[in-house]
Structure 1
Amino acid sequence: MNQKYSLDIVNVVNDYSSWKQEASVFLKKGLQRIGPTYKKAVYKQYTDGTYRTEVQKPDWLGYMGPVLMAEEGDTVVVQLRNAASRPYSIHPHGLNYSKGNEGALYPDNTGPELKRDDSVAPGRTVIYEWSLPESHSPTSQDSNCMTRFYHSHVSPPRDINSGLIGPLIVCKKGTLDLHGDRSGDYMYALLFMVTDENFSWYLDENIRTYITNPARGLKEDEDFIESNKMHGINGFLYGNLPGLSMCQGNKIHWHLMALGNEVDMHSVHFHGQILTTLNHHTDTISLFPASGTTAEMVADTPGHWLLTCTVNDHLMAGMQALFEIKKCFPNVHKPRPHGELRQFFIAAEEEVWDYAPTVPTDRLADMFVTRGRNRIGSRYKKVRYVEYTDNTFMTKMLRSPEEQHLGILGPVLRAEEKDTIRVVFKNKASRAYTIQPHGVQYSIEQDGTLYHNELEVVTPPPAALVKPGTLHTYEWLADCLTYMYYSAVDPVKDTNSGLVGPLLVCRPGSLKKGVQKNYNKEYHLMATVFDENLSWYLDDNIKTYATVPTSVNKEEEGFVESNKMHALNGFVYRNLPGLTMCKGDKVTWHLSGLGSEADINTLYFQGNRFLYRQNRRDTISVFPHISHTVTMEPDSMGQFEVVCPTVNHYRGGMRANYTVEKCSMFQRQGEVMLHSKTYYIAAMETDWDYSPNRTWEAEMFTGQERYHLQGGFIGSRYKKVVYRQYTNDKFTKQVERTADMEHLGIMGPMIHANVGDKVKVVFKNMATRPYSIHANGVKTETPDVHQTQPGQTHTYTWYVNKNTGPTTEQEECSVSAYYSTVDVAKDLYSGLIGPLVICRRSWTRYLDENIRTHIRNPRTNLKDDETFIESNKMHAINGYVYGNVNGLNMEVGDKVYWYLMGMGNEVDIHTVHWHGHNTLSFKRLGSLRNVLIFERKAFFSMKITLN
């Protein structure tokens, strides 16, 4: 069947305006501010190719284009006319197309006939034809309809921020009707995006139109730049998104998308409702840039409910909307059966909290934990949730030894599905607080978030504003899985002040006397950067702990940074107590995140792997307000680290120790390692060129080459250190890379191992500094990694047992990484990383030398120049930029396995998109095909098919 669409690209004026006071920085017009109104380019739909009658789209789409839909077997034909003022195109995600219908401009070595689709000039019309074969359709594990999108691809960042983006819904055969998935009552598509008007093609025009006398250098002014970043849902801010209305009992399909930059990591929270996505229940869904997901919701409990991104910066900047659930039919919703009533008595209490009771020896810790004339140190006034025995709030519940690891977190609230949780909350603090839960259902009167509802609420309900000295009783209905609770009078300030705790909801019959059955140990970890600059108590802490409070400048960069505590449960630099277990214990870890854009935390468990959704791993990423449960049976003894390896977080102290002890005389027989493999690998220094071929760069950015030597920049060549393989322990002859390994680029050789192998790596350090070689996910004799001095050779032995390899639910092989651990950050950025494939059966150290080598007369303070710093950040794949990766060659019909790794800092959030092809399987997060990589590993296969 053909799905035909006639689309027009037109210029419009878009208004982001809002009534909210907080919106002033973004939406208020001023002498040097554009205000709420911007010129944009958008897709509009017409009834046919005559472009006489426009198809009116629903108001909730905002500036997005119309919803395009197709089901398996369909051909999608789009006639695109460009009535705007500059060239644009249309490029789909999730559909199959030929090179002549791709709609993407880049150097692909095609001739003029196949380039006509790449860029549609103003006044021209081009017809695109795409298909939805079985290979691109939802699988049996997927929802009936999957969320994709389309956008202009002449210059994607500028085209998209100018407004050219729209939803694309792809469905299983026989499941699509005019309103999307026919099994639902309503469908909504929502785009969560920080629309950066600084990247719009129309920025200069908007300045000329809306600012009478623009100041010189206005476009470089930081406050002006920030004022043009619109944190919107479908282009609406601060609850202005219209038309999200449904009846109680309706089945709703939410198609959620994100696009944009590194900051576009979103945790989407639906208040008071439970959604199903990827066969899991949740109320909060995480999104990456250029990703989409489908969630199903049965509308429950009438009212105007908040829908928001819970990432702190996005919440404060207005990424909020309201959806209305109406009681349309009497008795449509039967009362659900109730289980046990579980009652808790919790108070909010202010106290002094020490992030580092044991002073760390790490020199990097000084800026965070050392008190000074204008530094607070490690002790802060905070507020915590504290449990009491009854509603008199006279006797505190003492924490057991097993609960000491909870640290700053509130008590664990445990319940089973269908239970009712009753929390009697007393506010013993000096300002208003609440309790807002995730993952449970409640009436609108029990919503613990204080938010402005222009439509009906005038006075905040008692649940949303519990004043000092007063009580409120909350009642919630339990669903399932690991969640959290927190105060939400001001969610950002309240949580940074300390009010957060774990909420654990289990299957019926899985709790015994309030504790999980069938597990020896239960641990809860909250990874977040507590930003004390955003605490209610910052001024109190300055007065109390800065030795000269009057010398403090709250805007000074060093002071601001010193108050960002990269913590696990409120402890930094291995101060977290109580993580002790026995070898062979069944351990469940409940992992949660909180915070802002920088808080995409990746937790790495050294020494022992865990199971997550039937996948064996040692690393998992946690979004703000997202929780995961993993299980572990530790089989390596000793003291190990659990850390966030994101560079800034690791250096800032997000590290803890856990200990595995031998508690039983009975010792299970160890696995026999049947095979031994030996690799000879050296660390060697080399000059590395990120862009040896400048053809791609020159064609894409005529006259604007980024990696050049002029203007005091280093260029594309840097001194690096790399792992390279040799034939034997003489280290005289290097192993030449074959054609299928050419793509590895800067990475070391691919090390292969099977379960049952003993891998020996004979490592020679041919560089000028100490280095090592360590792999994630393997077993070693000791947790300590030997530092190999320059000129020395050391043999590292890795054991690959059954708890290291993939499970039967995974593909045959999984990918991990090996790297140097002498200084993880500097060693990594200097180049020392490689892939380790296990199957069943920086900061560069050479920056000063590179400056001396490549810049003739470096100016003073060059290393502090922001433009110079940016020029040294290489956005690379295997150490190559701008299409320089070679060796990615295959034939039509080949089954191809891709091993993907991501490492680095907070900005290293990567979403991988293959033009024209979909993956057949993706063995990390189930069947979701938008591939998301950030400091962890992914593995999947795909079959190449071309028209």
Structure 2
Amino acid sequence: MWTSTLLIAASAAIVVGASLPPVTSAPTDLSSCSAQMDGKLPYYQPQGFNFSGTIRRYYVAAEVETWNYAPSGWDNWLGVPMNESFRAQTWGYLASNTSIGTTYDKALYRGYTGPDFTEQSEQPDWLGFNGPILRGEVGDMIEIMFVNKLDPFYATMHSMGLFYTKDSEGSLYPNGTNEFAPGNAVAPGGCVVYKWLIPPASAPDAGENSKLWAYHSYISMYEDTDAGLTGPVIVYNPGTMNATMAKNREFILFYGDNQESNSFLAMHNVMKYLPGLAGSVMNETSTYPAMQQGNESYWYPQEVNSPLTNVDTSVAANFFPVSCHFTSYTCFEESITDKSQINGFIFSNNPPFSMCINDAAIFYIMDMGFDTHVAHWHGNNVLHNGVMMASVPINPGQMLTTHMTATNPGLWQVICHFNTHLSKGMEAWYRIYAPWEKCPLVPLES
């Protein structure tokens, strides 16, 4: 049996002020989960699955990290500082006494180099706030030791596209399993081992050597993904992973509308970044609603996004509109908290996706959120499903694989062609070094 180790997790935020609930919890005992990283196949395998003998091991944790959607302080699409950008002003992206701005605490997946979860594994800077890239070939098993460092929030890893048995589903609903099984919901400070198989049904499309799938937390998908718990999986045909990686620049493009008002960290962010308004937004005397709300265990309710809020006209209208009817949630005006982002960046604040002239590149695109997007690259076209295209539409929950030959040098934009999303900042840089420049990248294999 051959084992590959590519290791993974999410980073810890400092709890600010005694009034804030803890958001980071160090697991006390990981030995039980570490022992389950044993290479044993799940109790059931799908028809047609032929185990290659290869195990791809990952170490992943969910943690809180402070994230800035526009770290340069500039609207790089207009070429002006944020405080001079009419777009940033229009959408409430400037920090004020009624708007958090562009810096929020996010719940993210981050990778580690081993089962002690002490050293984070490297990931490319352009990947942004996405979770680490998981990779494997058809016939492999992906074995993940997952640790939840969030407190008091539950979290999971749910695969979109790979095969899993019920104990590795990572999804919380009345599904016939025992109450509060670790495979359904990982408690704060807890851990679980997921075993995902890559059967032929998860293989790349005909004529392709690779394909994008995804993973995300699924306690309450809306709140979990808006908090930031999403990540990519790339699947390759048998025996082609190393060659595909060596001959192509591979990039992930996550198009998402992150509504920070729906994040299970929404109230935490209000208390940390707008403490003057926290008392107006949250009613701490409220009781838990009878129905399930927010990021909340089905069997063990927890205080996350469920305290009742005071809906009245005394709070600034552009922060907490009178028309807001979500009385069981913290509630912001969408235009202030909705970030139309690519990999966690707005207004081209991303580290560029870089290529040398004539490089082969694969852009893997995924969409999580509430809206359709249209990926468009200035300067170069992409091949999708055998058709050359200038733009590629993508729907929420969808993953696409596209190919580019980097023939046109320059610093270019890759954008969403949906006008509102473009205005909100859904643009990113990509760069192709010209033949008369020295390309600083390691050359691809031919």
Name the CA distance, whole Å, in 2 between partners of 1:73 and 1:329.
44
Match of 2:249 in 1: 186
Match of 1:242, SS state, is: coil
1:16 aligns with 2:69: yes
Residue of 77, 94, 111 corresponding to 1:28: 94
Show CA shifts across 1:18-63 (max 9, x none).
4121223342101111111111111110111111211121111111
Residue of 295, 300, 306 corresponding to 2:407: 300
Name the CA distance, whole Å, in 1 between partners of 2:228 and 2:209.
28
1:235 aligns with 2:344: yes
Match of 2:223 in 1: 158
Residue of 205, 213, 234 corresponding to 2:268: 205
Match of 1:320 in 2: 427
Residue of 175, 178, 197 corresponding to 1:111: 178
Name the CA distance, whole Å, in 2 between partners of 1:252 and 1:187.
6
Deviation at 1:330, TM superposition (A): 7.9
Residue of 100, 112, 128 corresponding to 1:62: 128
Name the CA distance, whole Å, in 2 between partners of 1:29 and 1:111.
46
User: Does the 8 Å contact 1:23/1:238 carry over to 2?
Assistant: no
Match of 1:126 in 2: 192
| Matched length | 326
Q: Which letter maps to 2:162?
A: L
Unaligned ranges ≥5, structure 1:
333-947
Match of 2:7 in 1: none
Deviation at 1:123, TM superposition (A): 0.9
Name the CA distance, whole Å, in 1 between partners of 2:213 and 2:256.
15
Match of 1:158, SS state, is: helix
Residue of 250, 266, 270 corresponding to 2:373: 266
User: Does the 8 Å contact 1:88/1:121 carry over to 2?
Assistant: yes
User: Does the 8 Å contact 1:7/1:79 carry over to 2?
Assistant: yes
Match of 1:52, SS state, is: coil
Residues 291 and 82 (structure 1 numbering): CA distance in 2 closer, same or farther, change over 3 Å? same
Name the CA distance, whole Å, in 2 between partners of 1:265 and 1:181.
29
Name the CA distance, whole Å, in 2 between partners of 1:181 and 1:165.
24
Match of 1:213, SS state, is: helix
Name the CA distance, whole Å, in 2 between partners of 1:70 and 1:38.
33
Deviation at 1:220, TM superposition (A): 3.9
Task: Give 1:209-224 correspondences, 5 Å limit.
Answer: 209-214=272-277, 215=280, 217=311, 220-221=320-321, 224=333
Name the CA distance, whole Å, in 2 between partners of 1:53 and 1:68.
18
Task: Give 1:717-866 correspondences, 5 Å limit.
Answer: none
Show CA shifts across 1:429-455 (max 9, x none).
xxxxxxxxxxxxxxxxxxxxxxxxxxx
1:167 aligns with 2:232: yes
Deviation at 1:328, TM superposition (A): 4.8
1:252 aligns with 2:252: no
Name the CA distance, whole Å, in 2 between partners of 1:192 and 1:40.
17
Deviation at 1:112, TM superposition (A): 4.6
Q: Which letter maps to 1:117?
A: G
User: Does the 8 Å contact 1:26/1:230 carry over to 2?
Assistant: no
Match of 1:321, SS state, is: strand
What's the % identity of the aligned pairs? 29
Name the CA distance, whole Å, in 1 between partners of 2:193 and 2:389.
41
User: Does the 8 Å contact 2:143/2:195 carry over to 1?
Assistant: yes
Match of 1:305, SS state, is: strand
User: Does the 8 Å contact 2:182/2:191 carry over to 1?
Assistant: no
1:84 aligns with 2:150: yes
User: Does the 8 Å contact 1:31/1:212 carry over to 2?
Assistant: no
Aligned-residue RMSD, C-alpha: 2.0
Match of 2:55 in 1: 2
Match of 2:417 in 1: 310
Deviation at 1:329, TM superposition (A): 6.6
Match of 1:99 in 2: 166
Name the CA distance, whole Å, in 2 between partners of 1:331 and 1:188.
21
User: Does the 8 Å contact 1:26/1:36 carry over to 2?
Assistant: no
Name the CA distance, whole Å, in 1 between partners of 2:248 and 2:106.
32
Show CA shifts across 1:335-364 (max 9, x none).
xxxxxxxxxxxxxxxxxxxxxxxxxxxxxx
Q: Which letter maps to 1:241?
A: N
Q: Which runs of 4+ in 1 moved over 4 A?
A: 328-332
User: Does the 8 Å contact 1:16/1:27 carry over to 2?
Assistant: no
Task: Give 1:480-495 correspondences, 5 Å limit.
Answer: none
Match of 2:103 in 1: 37
Compute the TM-score of the two structures, normalised by the length of structure 2. 0.70
User: Does the 8 Å contact 1:60/1:243 carry over to 2?
Assistant: yes
User: Does the 8 Å contact 2:139/2:198 carry over to 1?
Assistant: yes
Q: Which letter maps to 1:172?
A: N
Residues 185 and 140 (structure 1 numbering): CA distance in 2 closer, same or farther, change over 3 Å? closer
Show CA shifts across 1:622-644 (max 9, x none).
xxxxxxxxxxxxxxxxxxxxxxx
Task: Give 1:148-547 correspondences, 5 Å limit.
Answer: 148-177=213-242, 181-182=244-245, 184-214=247-277, 215=280, 217=311, 220-221=320-321, 224-261=333-370, 264-328=371-435
Show CA shifts across 1:480-506 (max 9, x none).
xxxxxxxxxxxxxxxxxxxxxxxxxxx
Compute the TM-score of the two structures, normalised by the length of structure 1. 0.34
Deviation at 1:110, TM superposition (A): 1.9
Unaligned ranges ≥5, structure 2:
1-53, 76-84, 282-310, 325-331, 440-446
Residues 319 and 331 (structure 1 numbering): CA distance in 2 closer, same or farther, change over 3 Å? closer
Match of 1:193, SS state, is: strand
Name the CA distance, whole Å, in 1 between partners of 2:101 and 2:200.
47
Q: Which letter maps to 2:171?
A: A
Name the CA distance, whole Å, in 2 between partners of 1:108 and 1:28.
44
Match of 1:181, SS state, is: helix
Q: Which letter maps to 1:158?
A: E
User: Does the 8 Å contact 1:46/1:55 carry over to 2?
Assistant: yes
Q: Which letter maps to 1:186?
A: R
Q: Which letter maps to 2:134?
A: L
Deviation at 1:109, TM superposition (A): 1.7
Match of 2:25 in 1: none
Q: Which letter maps to 2:345?
A: F
Residues 88 and 191 (structure 1 numbering): CA distance in 2 closer, same or farther, change over 3 Å? same
Residues 75 and 34 (structure 1 numbering): CA distance in 2 closer, same or farther, change over 3 Å? same
Deviation at 1:212, TM superposition (A): 3.7
Deviation at 1:318, TM superposition (A): 0.5
1:50 aligns with 2:125: no
Residues 116 and 30 (structure 1 numbering): CA distance in 2 closer, same or farther, change over 3 Å? same
Match of 1:198, SS state, is: helix
Residues 243 and 305 (structure 1 numbering): CA distance in 2 closer, same or farther, change over 3 Å? closer
- From the two aligned structures, give the one with the greater strand fraction: 1
Name the CA distance, whole Å, in 1 between partners of 2:231 and 2:399.
12
Match of 1:147 in 2: 212
Name the CA distance, whole Å, in 1 between partners of 2:431 and 2:368.
26
Show CA shifts across 1:802-830 (max 9, x none).
xxxxxxxxxxxxxxxxxxxxxxxxxxxxx
Name the CA distance, whole Å, in 2 between partners of 1:315 and 1:184.
32
Computing the radius of gyration from Cα coordinates, the structure with the larger value is 1
User: Does the 8 Å contact 2:156/2:217 carry over to 1?
Assistant: yes
